[in-house]
Amino acid sequence: MIKDPASGEMKGVGYELGKELARRMGVPYEPIVYQTPRLLVDDATSGKWDVAFVARDANREKIMNFTAVYLSLEQGYLVPAGSPIKTMAEVDRPGIRVGVPAGGAVIPPLKRTLKSAELVEVGMPDAADLVKSGKVDVFAANKANLFTIADKLSGAQVLAGWFSVDEFALGTPKGREAGMAYVRKFIETVKAEGMVKAAAQRAGVRGTIEE
């Protein structure tokens, strides 16, 4: 979810799906925004949220149950204007600092991929400033986030190619298995109705992989 700078309203695929889920269930919609995926996952057993629209991975599946994937996004790299790094192969070098969303699903594949570069976990709201200031040399995330960051940084480039995929699904904390049949059916239905694709288009999501 992101906030539209013009209207101040929240938008995004997860935001719209959450709103629609609440409408169909006939309950109040109370969106909660976390600054990093780690904070969201850390609260999985706190009772502070009931469902989450988040990328699933093996570690999260230990504490959360997930529906089928509703949106897949390429994971890649962003570099600032004037960067000597022009290709993905040039990222993995000694001394290169790669910013990543703290606790993000991008971290496990990067740890398998990168042997020399250093990972720096940060909050997503800080990403553009860190890239601009040179405190990180590269930023890695799904391409929807990368293009959003690039829009704020003149001359920044999202490198061609991708190293893994963010698979977004609806997740619930372990122990709430009784509701999984309902939310699994919900995701199947909104995908079939074209709601996910329409929400992605409204939010200007880029870097998607067709399901």
Pick the CATH number of 73-164 from 3.40.50.460, 3.40.190.10, 3.30.559.10, 3.40.50.2020: 3.40.190.10
Q: Can you read off the two tokens belonging to residue 188?
A: 């199947």
If you average pLDDT over every residue of the chain, what do you get? 91
Name the 3-class secondary structure at 209. Answer: strand
19 contact partners, CB below 8 Å, separation of at least 6: 29, 31
pLDDT digit string, tens, across residues 8-20: 457 789 999 999 9
* DSSP structure class, residue 190: H
Query: Residues of CATH 3.40.190.10 domain(s) within the chain?
Result: 2-71+165-209, 73-164
Separation between Cα atoms, residue 26 and residue 8, nearest integer Å: 25
Name the 3-class secondary structure at 125. Answer: helix
Pick the CATH number of 2-71+165-209 from 3.40.190.10, 1.20.1080.10, 1.10.580.10, 3.10.450.50: 3.40.190.10
Separation between Cα atoms, residue 102 and residue 155, nearest integer Å: 25
In this prediction the pTM is 0.82
Helix (H) / strand (E) element for 79: namely strand 64-79
pLDDT digit string, tens, across residues 27-48: 999 999 898 888 999 999 999 9
| Beta bridge pairs of residue 12 | none
Phi (first) and psi of residue 94, to 5 degrees = -55, 140
pLDDT digit string, tens, across residues 122-166: 988 889 999 999 999 999 999 999 999 999 999 999 999 999 999
